[in-house]
Every structure is written in C-alpha cells, then in structure tokens.
Amino acid sequence: MFANYLIGLREGLEASLIVCILIAYLVKTGRRDKLLPVWTGITAAVLLSMAFGAILQYGSAQLSFEAQEALGGTLSIIAVGLVTWMVFWMRRTARHLKAELQGRLDEAIALGTVALVTTAFLAVGREGLETALFIWSAVQATGDGVRPLIGAALGLLTAVVLGWLFYRGALKINLGTFFTWTGALLIVVAAGVLAYGVHDLQEAGWLPGLHNLAFDISSTIPKDSWYGTLLKGVLNFQPDPTVLQLVVWVAYLVPVLVLFLRHPAPRPAAAAQPAEHRGGPRP
C-alpha cells in the first residue's frame, strides 16, 4: 500500500504542478477565457489514463495464463523504463518546467483553441499514462488488487490537495529535495517491479531459469506473514527469487541509484571573451 501511495503521490504531484502552472499563468496574464480549453484537455487526459488502466486490468484477464504472464512481464519492464526516464527527466528539468510550459502555452494560444486543448492534454496525459501503467504493474507484482489501489488513490488525492495548496500559495516546499528523495524511493520500487516482470517472462517461457533459485528463505519470511506481506508490498521483496531475478534487480538498482543520487558535476567557468567581443578595450 505504501509503495503505491508513493507512486500516486510522486506521479500525481508532477501532474498537479503542471496543471497549477498552466492555470496560474492564464489567470495572471488575464486570459481566463482560455481556461475552458485547458480544463477540457486536462479532463480528457485523466479519462484516457483511467480508461488505459481499465483496459490493462480487464483486458489481460481474458488472456491465457502464459499470455497474461508475457503481457505482465513486458509491460512491467516498459513501465520501469518509463519511470526511470521520468525521474531523471524531472530532476534535470524541474527548475525550467515553468518557463517551458508557459512558452508552449503561449504558442498554443496563438494557434487557437484546438492547439490549447492539445497542449494541456499532452502535458497531463503523458504523466497519466505513465502513472496508470506503473501502478498496474505494481499491483500485479503485489498480487493484491485492493490495498495497492487504495494506496495509489490516496497518493493521487494527496497530490491534488498539495497542488491546490501550491496554487493558493499556502504551501511551499523544496521541490528539488522532494523529487530527489521520492525519486530514489521510486527507483527501489521500480527494481522490484523489474524483477517481478522478469519472473513473469520466465513463467511465460520467454526467459530461462524459472526453477533455478538464488536462495529460498520462505521458512524464515513466509509470504503470507504480515512482515512478508509488508516487504512484498513496499519493496516487492520475494523470499525465493530466481538467479536471473536477483541479477537483474542488482544490475538495475545499484547503477541507477548511484547515478540518480550523485551530485552533478559543476559546469566549467566560461572562458573569458576576447576584448573585441566585449566592446573593445577600455581606455
């Protein structure tokens, strides 16, 4: 439940910030007449994301076991790839996100209503589709269809409230610190989803080594115990992983987490310009 709460909070807050930036910019520049197209695009993006999640859930239930495992494993790996790209992208561009969105909005306003709807739809829809896919993958990994969805819904609700408080100016936090820590936690969750996806592909017969276990501590940490359930829900921990699962988990988690948490190298100082390019020598 906590892992899915984190996913809903982290992903939902990104979407909430985008909505806040779009709405606040139109209000502050006296373009309230453009709010309806923006809200139309946002609503369409939310509905598309919900429909995408429903299709994943109910569509996969109609498949055979092998097909379900193959689909689940493939989509889990895709979800991990998208989320990994997203956390690095947000860390790199968060400080410039406001200016970038405002520039796109100005261009859309100049092009007309359809462009405005499309801009809002794409800005929110990308986050929504990523969130739906990753939450679905995380739900499949836990094997519990109720509590993970409750956690994700609570996370999204918290994100909406935080977004509203940001818009009202009632809440100010260090977004860089927030996205760094939640991004690191999300990478840990993604590592578990990736390992689960590999296991799905092994059960589907797409990857070998299904019965080649790295270790088995099921007697110490039973899967049906409260602490086994907690570890699985938060970290997607499995007491009897295959060798391939363990290798993939370590190969993803260690380098990605190190790259994400390392401090960016300082930019070299700009070289002094020649005198002729600075307006000529001083007298």
Residue 66 is predicted with a pLDDT of 86
Residue 264 is predicted with a pLDDT of 52
Domain contains 281? no
Domain contains 207? yes
Give 167's Cβ-side CA count (13 Å radius): 21
Asked whether the beta carbons of 257 and 188 are under 8 A apart, the reply is yes
Domain contains 88? yes
* Number of domains comprising the chain: 1
Which mean pLDDT values do the consecutive 10-residue runs of the chain (283 residues) have? 77 82 84 87 91 83 83 89 84 72 82 84 84 80 70 86 79 72 85 90 93 91 77 77 95 94 55 45 44
Domain contains 54? yes
Residue 245 is predicted with a pLDDT of 94
Domain contains 177? yes
Structural domain boundaries, residue 86: 2-263
Question: Can you list the alpha helix ranges (DSSP code H) found in the chain?
Answer: 2-28, 35-60, 65-93, 97-111, 113-142, 147-168, 175-203, 226-235, 243-261
Radius of gyration in angstroms for the set of CA atoms belonging to the chain, rounded to a whole number: 22
Contact residues for 52 (Cβ-Cβ < 8 A; gap 6+): 128, 129, 132, 133
Residue 122 is predicted with a pLDDT of 85
Angle at 236 between CA 72 and CA 143, to 5 degrees: 55
pLDDT digits (tens, 9 = 90+) for 30-72: 888 888 988 999 999 989 988 998 888 787 777 788 888 898 8
Residue 268 is predicted with a pLDDT of 45
Domain contains 275? no
Give the tokens for residue 104: 């796109």
Asked whether the beta carbons of 165 and 18 are under 8 A apart, the reply is no
Domain contains 273? no
213 - beta bridge partners? 242
Domain contains 152? yes
